[in-house]
């Protein structure tokens, strides 16, 4: 399991302590402003001269308090949270890409979209900035305000000390429910995001099938389930944010009562009633912030658990290292055993018996067989994209095979141009000539479904695989969607690669048979060598 320090929530560094003091500064400056304003009122009430100095000081303190609220109280923790959000989003994307394929297949795509977009944001802005800066800042503000109040009147300070647990208890139930609800929302939100993604990705196919009604109904069901939990969440949020204002009236009345009593006894000026009212209001913000943010942190822990799960998956060894071979005389790949295509390992599970499948360096190897017989799963296995546990038997895979250039399905297209779509490789001039790219080399490429024809998309995938420097090339149906001229030239080209590159091609036709060094064919679930 990944260490908790991978995504720390409470991070008490010197910088964060300074930031927390900054968060507390606005409340403390506001408290000081109230006291000086109370002094102004006392001077005015007594009719004594010299109101100018405390009035100016009150003004300066009020401006400083507002500036501190905006800059230190809000902007600094917000900026810190956004930085954390960005850093954890980048790290999460890296981890998703690094995780073995089987770890990625354990969850549906909506889960990863949610982790990447939502959990990274929640971790940065709510959890880290909340627990490391905002909550400690609110605690400092509360302690400071109580201390300032105690200097004026210890009884008033005692009232705040009594009030704090009352408010905490009042908020306990809704904040707990909020925390529990947060856990329930996540899987519903995963499903909703997954469905949203499906609508966008499949729009054209849905239109072509005339299945708009079916898809909108599915979407409505998922949205209703999600919005139902969101409504409950919003209601609890509303309660938590408004309850303190309601209860604060009682605190304000009690504190003002104490001040008024002192006033009547002649122990304090009339300004103290105003100070009491201001302090009762001021203390609400840190108290509520502590209650709300602790609930937020508790409720949102599942987000950081999800991020840690992705980080743990990225650290998971693929397991293929144990199968890799290094020797120069070794085959590029050898598989001897039963390869399971489906997770089920019983009579219903699909499997391919790949007894003594072998590819030697520099060979052109053709694999044939009926649809769904497990040929693509075999290539995935050679490329180290599946799970070594899928094989009941033995295998030896060269590092070249495990890092092979791989044309697989669907051919992914990235918005940009052809050069960009080669993902860092320079176009192989011979492959480019063979594929007859036409205007594909100059035009803008988008991931809109009609931007490239099926054949053009295939050419792009082939150019990408054939331009990579890796010595082993795996091609899943290289001739699919190509016109007769390109098919013939491509077959000649692949035949010409013999001795220079190791090529394994899945074929549904005999066009490569004559050139192939070996041909394997699946018959009745068994992969046998036929040439």
Ligand X SMILES: Nc1ncnc2c1ncn2[C@@H]1O[C@H](COP(=O)(O)OP(=O)(O)OP(=O)(O)O)[C@@H](O)[C@H]1O
- In the complex, the residues that contact ligand X under the rule CB under 6 A are 341-343, 350, 369, 371-377
Return the number of other C-beta atoms located less than 10 Å from residue 382's C-beta: 26
The nearer residue to ligand X, 286 or 369, going by C-beta atoms, is 369
- Parallel, antiparallel, or unpaired: how do β-strands 333-340 and 351-359 relate? antiparallel
- Lookup result for tokens 């009232």: 159
Q: CA 335, 339, 340: angle at the middle one, nearest 5?
A: 165
Instruction: State CA 526 to chain mean position distance.
Output: 42
The nearer residue to ligand X, 46 or 101, going by C-beta atoms, is 101
Q: In whole angstroms, how close is the CB of 373 to ligand X at the nearest point?
A: 4
* Residue 97 vs residues 138, 385, 406: alpha-carbon distances, Å: 39, 12, 16
Q: In whole angstroms, how close is the CB of 341 to ligand X at the nearest point?
A: 3
Written as one string, the DSSP assignment of 250-264 is HHHHHHHHHHHHHHH
Q: In whole angstroms, how close is the CB of 102 to ligand X at the nearest point?
A: 9
462 SS3 class: helix
- What is the spatial distance between Cα 37 and Cα 45, in angstroms, rounded to a whole number? 12
The nearer residue to ligand X, 376 or 481, going by C-beta atoms, is 376
The nearer residue to ligand X, 121 or 387, going by C-beta atoms, is 387
The nearer residue to ligand X, 375 or 459, going by C-beta atoms, is 375
- What is the spatial distance between Cα 97 and Cα 94, in angstroms, rounded to a whole number? 5
Long-range CB contact pairs, 10-13, < 8 A, 24+: 10/131, 10/132, 11/128, 11/131, 11/132, 12/132, 12/136
- Whether omega before 410 lies within 30 degrees of 0, making that bond cis, reads yes
**Any residues with CB less than 8 A from the CB of 129 and at least 6 apart, and which?**
77, 78, 80, 81, 84
Q: In whole angstroms, how close is the CB of 462 to ligand X at the nearest point?
A: 17
Q: In whole angstroms, how close is the CB of 343 to ligand X at the nearest point?
A: 6
Q: In whole angstroms, how close is the CB of 385 to ligand X at the nearest point?
A: 11
- What is the spatial distance between Cα 519 and Cα 364, in angstroms, rounded to a whole number? 9
The nearer residue to ligand X, 245 or 344, going by C-beta atoms, is 344
Q: In whole angstroms, how close is the CB of 290 to ligand X at the nearest point?
A: 48
Q: In whole angstroms, how close is the CB of 504 to ligand X at the nearest point?
A: 13
Q: In whole angstroms, how close is the CB of 355 to ligand X at the nearest point?
A: 17
Q: In whole angstroms, how close is the CB of 22 to ligand X at the nearest point?
A: 52
Q: In whole angstroms, how close is the CB of 26 to ligand X at the nearest point?
A: 55
Return the number of other C-beta atoms located less than 10 Å from residue 64's C-beta: 16
Q: In whole angstroms, how close is the CB of 528 to ligand X at the nearest point?
A: 15
The nearer residue to ligand X, 372 or 416, going by C-beta atoms, is 372
- Parallel, antiparallel, or unpaired: how do β-strands 405-407 and 472-476 relate? parallel
The H-or-E segment that residue 354 falls in is strand 351-359
Cα dihedral 440/441/447/449 (nearest 10): 0
The nearer residue to ligand X, 105 or 161, going by C-beta atoms, is 105
The nearer residue to ligand X, 226 or 340, going by C-beta atoms, is 340
301 SS3 class: helix
The nearer residue to ligand X, 75 or 409, going by C-beta atoms, is 409
In this structure, what are the phi and psi dihedrals at residue 446, rounded to the nearest 5 degrees? -120, 170
Positive or negative: CA dihedral 51, 56, 62, 64 = negative
- What is the spatial distance between Cα 221 and Cα 151, in angstroms, rounded to a whole number? 59
* CB-based contact 128:262 (threshold 8 Å): no
Positive or negative: CA dihedral 506, 373, 112, 3 = negative
Q: What one-character DSSP code corresponds to residue 428?
A: P
The nearer residue to ligand X, 316 or 430, going by C-beta atoms, is 316
* CB-based contact 199:215 (threshold 8 Å): yes
């Amino acid at each position: 399991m990944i260490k908790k320090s991978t995504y720390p929530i409470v991070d008490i560094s010197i910088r964060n302590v300074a930031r927390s003091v900054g968060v507390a500064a606005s409340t403390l400056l506001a408290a000081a402003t109230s006291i000086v304003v109370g002094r102004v009122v006392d001077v005015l009430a007594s009719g004594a001269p010299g109101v100018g100095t405390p009035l100016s000081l009150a003004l300066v303190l009020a401006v400083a308090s507002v500036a501190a609220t905006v800059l230190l109280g809000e902007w600094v923790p917000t900026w810190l949270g956004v930085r954390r959000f960005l850093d954890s989003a980048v790290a999460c994307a890296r981890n998703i890409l690094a995780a073995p394929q089987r770890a990625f297949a354990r969850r549906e795509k909506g889960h990863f979209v949610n982790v990447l977009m939502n959990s990274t944001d929640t971790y940065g802005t709510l959890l880290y900035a909340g627990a490391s800066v905002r909550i400690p800042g609110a605690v400092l503000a509360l302690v400071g305000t109580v201390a300032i109040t105690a200097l004026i009147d210890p009884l008033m300070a005692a009232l705040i000390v009594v009030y704090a647990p009352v408010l905490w208890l009042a908020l306990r139930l809704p904040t707990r429910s909020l925390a529990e609800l947060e856990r329930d929302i996540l899987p519903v939100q995963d499903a909703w995001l997954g469905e949203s993604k499906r609508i966008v990705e499949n729009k054209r196919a849905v239109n072509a099938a005339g299945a708009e009604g079916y898809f909108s109904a599915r979407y409505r069901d998922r949205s209703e389930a999600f919005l139902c939990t969101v409504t409950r969440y919003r209601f609890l949020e509303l309660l938590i944010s408004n309850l303190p204002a309601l209860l604060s009236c009682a605190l304000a009345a009690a504190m003002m009562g104490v001040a008024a009593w002192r006033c009547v006894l002649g122990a304090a000026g009339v300004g103290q009633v105003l100070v009491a009212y201001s302090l009762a209001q001021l203390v609400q913000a840190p108290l509520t912030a502590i209650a709300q943010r602790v609930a937020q942190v508790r409720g949102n822990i599942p987000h950081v658990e999800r991020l840690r799960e992705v980080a743990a998956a990225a650290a998971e060894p693929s397991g293929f290292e144990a199968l890799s071979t290094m020797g120069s005389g070794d085959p590029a790949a050898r598989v001897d055993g039963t390869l399971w295509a489906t997770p089920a390992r019983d009579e219903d599970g699909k499997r391919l018996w790949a007894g003594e499948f072998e590819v030697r360096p520099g060979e052109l190897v053709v694999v044939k067989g009926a649809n769904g017989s497990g040929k693509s799963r075999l290539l995935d296995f050679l490329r180290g994209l599946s799970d070594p546990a899928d094989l009941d038997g033995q295998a030896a895979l060269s590092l070249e095979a495990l890092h092979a250039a791989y044309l697989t399905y669907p051919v992914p297209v990235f918005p940009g141009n052809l050069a960009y779509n080669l993902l860092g490789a320079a176009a192989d001039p011979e492959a480019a000539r063979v594929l007859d790219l036409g205007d594909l080399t100059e035009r803008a490429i988008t991931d809109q479904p009609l931007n490239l024809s099926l054949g053009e998309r295939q050419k792009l995938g082939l150019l990408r695989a054939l331009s990579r420097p890796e010595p082993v090339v795996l091609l899943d149906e290289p001739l699919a969607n190509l016109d007769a001229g390109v098919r013939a030239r491509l077959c000649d080209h692949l035949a010409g690669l013999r001795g220079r590159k190791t090529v394994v091609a899945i074929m549904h036709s005999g066009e490569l048979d004559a050139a192939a060094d070996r041909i394997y064919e699946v018959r009745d679930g068994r992969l046998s060598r036929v040439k």
